[in-house]
Structure 1
Amino acid sequence: MDFEHRSVMPDEVLEMLQPKPGGTYLDGTLGGAGHARLVLERSNPDGRLIGLDRDPGALRKAAEVLAPFGDRVVLRHRNFSEAAEVLAELGIDGLDGMLLDLGVSSHQLDTVERGFSFRNDAPLDMRMDPTTGTTVAEALAELEAEELARIFREYGEERWAGRIARRIVKLRQETPIRSTLQLAELVRDTVPGGHVPGRIHPATRVFQALRIYVNQELEHVAEGVRAAIGLLKPEGRLVVISFQSLEDRIVKRIFQDEARTCTCPPRLPVCVCKTRPRVEVLSRKALRASEFEITENPRSRSAVLRAVRRLPG
């Protein structure tokens, strides 16, 4: 299936990242390479870009899109949380900018056999890297009700987490839960009001939770964002786009921690910790897509952009 990709908040990304000729930039979630192409165009003639993605299909498409930029581009099949290792392998000691566009891509959602959506029936996979890891079907077959309920509650903020988990454990004794529509209908039949027309499908939060779980998304965000700050040169910039509140909270907290000027207890009259902030927060208030962009690209509706600048020292 071909990508039909539209980069989210492209103007805001360029404004915050400020790519320049001669700079070295890293796109840690390459996807359809829309943002990467914009960065390379803005950093002509000699800006470099390292592109990472855990999805081999995304890398293949990105290689086609970015082919005109020749040796200014290096692509790797890696998770963005492994950026430090990639830079070490390439002999690069610092970045002028880094971009993370978190969450599932439009291509992954639209590729039926990946199982990210319940618009069509498909195997329950949901792995962003289909070459490794546990599928959702395997997780549903193995995890106990208590752990499933925790996943639904923590990663999906699902009100009926316990009821859904118990229903899954009961029904899997009769037949394995292996398809997207099978799981979606199970959830719809389990929660109160699940068949009320016009409401958000009650399986939406469960699918989100399972996707986050099998891909360890929040762990990678926490590890990768904090590590990314250490990879920036002085004045280097990190731009992160999130699409759900759990991710955004992690990013916001890390940026606040790294920008903090004092960690002393409030009762002390003067600062004795001598803490120096590593970054300046460029987006005091998170940026969101314009109404025009949301009309043109509905996926941008939930996008939240935050950015920081690495301080000297």
Structure 2
Amino acid sequence: MRIRPVATVVAGALMGLSALVLSTNAAQASPHGHTPVTVAHRGASSYAPENTLAAIDAAAELGIEWVENDVQRTKDGELVILHDNSLARTTNVKKVFPDRSPWNVADFTLKEIEKLDAGSWFGQKFEGERVPTLEDYMDEVEHNDQNLLMELKSPELYPGIEMQTLRELRRGGWLDRDHLKHRLIIQSFNADTLKTVHTLRPDIKTGFLGNPSVADLPKYAKYCDQINPVHTAVTPEYVAAVHGLKGPHRRQLDLYTWTVDDPAVAIKLADLDVDGIITNKPDVVQDALENRHKNGA
């Protein structure tokens, strides 16, 4: 059983109040009537090893409601949370399995992956942190009363991962009305994957990772609720083009942008009226956005 820090529990209890205060301040101070959502990239990945339970907890302790993660599949068909296709960068797999290069997730069973240390590379205090399963990850997000921007990573490597992920989400209680409306978004760089998710569960919010041409945006609006480009591709014209369309749920398309750690850049993007900012330093970005409103920007 995972023992969670007291601070995490306290943070979770205060999240609702924090969200209310932030939204009230935003409505009063923002020229656009809102402040962008701050999303912790792979958890609070500047402060804890990415895509681990520790990273979710670190985000919770900072008062961050939204976390982002990456879903992949093991050799024996289990869903796990890892960004790279290979285990080499963020675990000690080279030491434990030296003859298994290139150490791809798809070449290891869950039992083998559970033997790996996914925290020591980041810092000694995280020694023993594991690659979480999707089930364990969702349990921790739920425990912290957080919300999830879930990326299906390299789905072309894992046929059927869309349906499998939806089954896992349903078992975990994440496909009820509250989660679907307020707490879950599925994104991917793979448009066909998003089409599949939308076909299987048209009530789920979806986001395309990338910056399609303005001319192509109406095609994406048929099955995407968000267009999520890298921040260097965001211009006033592009934001206006995205916001000028309605998605499959007949609501204005959102634009979440990544990966922004510089507070000045975050403020600039907020002034362009983006809807979300994905960041490794969610406290830095959130503080910058709050100060922007306090200063009457």
If the length of structure 1 is used for normalisation, what is the TM-score? 0.30
Larger Rg belongs to = 1
If the length of structure 2 is used for normalisation, what is the TM-score? 0.32
The structure richer in helix per residue is: 1
